[in-house]
Amino acid sequence: MNIKKKRLIKKAMLIGVIIGAVAGILITFLAAKKVVNSDRAKFKGQIKILKQENKELNKLIDKSEKINVAASLSTKTPKNWELVLVSNNYPLDEKYKPKLTEITQDRYVDSRIAEDTKRMLKDGEEAGMKFYVVSAYRSIADQKKVLNNDIQLRINEGDSYVDAYEKTRKTISAPNCSEHSLGLALDIVSAEHDKLDETQEDTKEAKWLAENAHKYGFILRYPKGKEDITHISYEPWHFRYVGKEAAEKIMKKNITLEEYLGAK
């Protein structure tokens, strides 16, 4: 082989290598572009879904703005704090603890309603009522104790745990589903008739409260005939602070807090 031929072969090999390399790069580039494009499409799809979800979420937030979902409660941002709904459908944030003020011995309420509460009790007493505040603020831990004590009592009477639990839950809320943990609810009875049952409604104290509580910002929270809305049996002794404006509307329209807030 002469030198000329050798050079030609070398050149051809070099060109081959270059073409191969360029083709390789091109193929890799095109393949990468395809992957990127399909990823981009996927990504766009995800963004679309996220945007949709966000829209739905915002709709929900708008709807619940007035309800002010209890779980998002913070003592620092008390928007509509007096209208917060706590029930089995709206459990309270486990960490929630309001600032408390003592209204009668060992009975505490959210400090923001202490004045109205004291005034209601005082005015009632001046009108001849003899009140006994059975219960006011209960921490979530206290509520657990109340629930467990009641279950234990039923077990002692011969119920199975499941039966005892089910019976108890009809009258006592789950630990973080009680309004008492808001510090905005009070169980008030006649000092001369301290039974927590329907007979309480016949006492002059219960009648006075049903008639006057709204003037102090309170409502009868679990009225008779509204059990399918509140999911709590009639409690003529349980009063809940909602503020004077809402209390007046709720009592005049004969509705519940759920209906007032448009909650389910």
Closest CB to Zn ion among 68 and 135? Answer: 135
Residue 71 beta carbon to Zn ion: minimum distance, rounded to whole angstroms: 21
Judged by beta carbon, residue 83 or residue 155, the one nearer Zn ion is 83
The span from the first CA to the last CA of the chain, in angstroms, equals 96
Site residues (vs Zn ion, CB under 5 A): 187, 238
Q: How far is the CB of 244 from Zn ion (least distance, A)?
A: 21
Q: Cβ closer to Zn ion: 226 or 238?
A: 238
Q: What is the 3-state secondary structure (H, E, C) of 186-230?
A: EEEEECCECCCCHHHHHCHHHHHHHHHHHHHCEEECCCCCCHHHH
Contact predicate 184/82, CB 8 Å: yes
Q: How far is the CB of 240 from Zn ion (least distance, A)?
A: 8
Distance in angstroms (rounded) separating the CA atoms of residues 72 and 13: 73
Residue nearest to Zn ion (CB): 238
Torsion region of 80: left, alpha or beta (phi above 0 gives left; psi -120 to 50 gives alpha): left
**Choice between 150 and 159, CB closer to Zn ion:** 150
CB of 187 vs Zn ion, minimal distance in Å: 4
- Gap between the Cα atoms of 10 and 4, Å rounded: 10
Structure-token match 């003529």, residue found: 236
